Amino acid sequence: MRKAIIIIIQILILIIFLRSSFAQHFFGGIANTLVNWYETVVEVPERSKIIALRDKFMRNNMSLQPHQVDYVIEVTDSVEAIDRFYNLYCIKEDKNPYMFGANLTKFCADIQTSELLTTK
């Protein structure tokens, strides 16, 4: 009987501790660290493909102006940005003030073969 009372008291103390702001802050920090670590591990292959796309386009295109290079870097910052660019300028053929003509055609082709598009 005495062991059962001690176990119940320990459980109550544990519950009170886990509800405290200190415990939530401590375990919340660990949870955030784990989530950030997981996101980093998941994004490594994606980031490698983005860098490969950027390098492929830049190396095969020496006619870009400095502002166009900056624009390509901005567009290839994330998969979402690449998707937006591809849908707007490659699919819908909207006018792009930074990239046009052969540069735009080549960039669209490189994006299409990069396996980064989420919508095809």
- Give pTM, 2 decimals: 0.63
pLDDT in tens, 51-85: 888 888 888 777 788 888 898 899 888 888 999 99
pLDDT in tens, 11-52: 888 777 777 777 677 777 776 776 777 777 666 778 888 888
Percentage of the chain modeled with pLDDT above 90? 9
Ordered by start, the domain boundaries in the chain are: 2-113
As to burial, measured by CB atoms within 10 angstroms (0-12 exposed, 13-18 middle, 19+ buried), residue 98 is middle
Q: Is the pLDDT of residue 10 over 70?
A: yes
d(CA 1, CA 58): 76
d(CA 33, CA 24): 14
Q: Are 85 and 117 in contact (CB under 8 A)?
A: no
pLDDT in tens, 84-101: 999 999 999 899 888 888
Residue 119 banded pLDDT, cuts 50, 70, 90: low
Residue 6 banded pLDDT, cuts 50, 70, 90: confident
